[in-house]
Amino acid sequence: MAEFLGKRPRPQGEARKTEWRKLKKERKEEKKKWRELKMIKKLEKQRAQEEAEKQKEEAEETQQQAKGRTYTLSVALPGSILNNAQSLELRTYLAGQIARACAIFCVDEIVVFDEEGEDVKSVEGEFVGIGKKGQASVQLARILQYLECPQYLRKAFFPKHQDLQFAGLLNPLDSPHHVRQEEVLEYREGIVLHRPTRPGRGSFVNCGMKKEVQIDKNLEPGLRVTVRLDQQQIPESKSLKGRVVSSQEPRTHAGLYWGYSVRLASCLSAVFAEGPFKDGYDLTIGTSERGEDLASVQLPNFNHAIVVFGGLQGLEASVEADPNLEVTDPSVLFDFYLNTCPGQGSRTIRTEEAILISLATLRPPIIAAGAPRPD
């Protein structure tokens, strides 16, 4: 009957154990292959996510660079223009006018040069002769630096000084880096605090907010730094997180105007010889009523441009007072020697007026030409 129904006899003893071990081994190998396949898929997914995040970051960086500004604009003028003011109050107001004009037109560097043989290169020390002639370049540079500095940092960097006696009455620059306490901005200026930190942690920085910012580096206390705040912050944390970046990054990456630097030069030739850029200024413009009409010229592409203004006697007096120059015609020193206000109705244009007029006139062609020169 069993043969008729086709029933197979069950394996007995060792044969049954061998078959069970084989089946168990096959199942184990299948599970192993399944785990490996699952792990491979997980790794592929993780790599895809990392690649997507990397591409997103690169796209964001490219977008930021696209809206950033790569070129710089500098202005040079003699400090002796303050000597035309009859009191310290008027000197201070004149310096404030220059600072406001440069901030409005996004000037990145102001060079104050000496045409009277004072040969000063620092704003340290006391100003001699309040409201009188003497060290005008130092006083002008000091007031320009004071106005550029964000308000919450001024007490740290500018102790009481007679040059700044009336600086608090001047109109503020209100530049993008003069950030309010509650204002949300990726970048901020700050001062490194004298505060202990844990090993491997960065310094704390006062950036004018309710919370201090802990940066990614350990720096010397008292330094002024530009900080980029991390996008992801922990609300419960006692401090914010950020990293120190170049002071140029807000301009080059985010397209923000981030104030100007101030440099003292001992004479007109030192304006060019002591410049901060490796290859110097590749576009130099002198301004004079004897210059060429701006409408007749076309500015070339450039990386770093500088516009130079003369004092009461014009650039001719600056050239004559410079011991390093043998020329008498200032036009030979510049790529372009321009008259930015042809047909003027006054015999003279004051330097603070010339800055406003010239930068307003030059702004469109400078923006159009403000790209790197082709190699």
Annotate 184-220 with DSSP letters as a single string: --SEEEEEE------TT---EEE-SSSS-EE-SS---
Tokens of residue 335, six digits: 């790529």
**Could you read off the pLDDT tens digit of each residue along the chain, which spans 375 residues?**
444 455 555 555 666 667 777 777 788 888 888 888 888 888 888 888 888 777 776 666 555 555 789 999 999 999 999 998 888 999 999 999 999 999 999 999 999 999 876 555 555 544 443 444 458 999 999 999 999 999 999 999 999 999 999 998 999 999 999 999 888 899 999 999 998 888 888 999 999 999 999 999 899 999 999 999 998 888 888 899 999 999 999 999 999 999 999 999 999 999 999 999 999 999 999 999 999 988 889 999 999 999 999 988 889 999 998 999 888 899 999 999 999 998 889 888 999 999 999 999 999 999 888 866 554
Nearest-5° Cα angle at 98, 94 to 102: 170
Residue 245's region, left for phi above 0, alpha for psi from -120 to 50, else beta, is: beta
Taking a C-beta distance cutoff of 8 angstroms, is the pair 352, 81 a contact? yes
Of the candidates 260, 294, 313, 314, which has an alpha carbon nearest to the alpha carbon of residue 100? 260
- Outline where 221-276 has alpha helix (H): 249-254, 268-273
- CA dihedral of 191, 196, 202, 206, whole degrees rounded to 10: -20
Tell me, what amino acid is at 28? K
Domain ranges of the chain: 72-175+259-367, 187-247
Taking a C-beta distance cutoff of 8 angstroms, is the pair 193, 204 a contact? yes
Taking a C-beta distance cutoff of 8 angstroms, is the pair 333, 327 a contact? yes
Residue 64's pLDDT is 52
Residue 1's pLDDT is 44
Of the candidates 370, 369, 339, which has an alpha carbon nearest to the alpha carbon of residue 357? 339
Helix (H, G, I), strand (E, B) or coil at 49: helix
Taking a C-beta distance cutoff of 8 angstroms, is the pair 258, 174 a contact? no
Residue 108's region, left for phi above 0, alpha for psi from -120 to 50, else beta, is: alpha
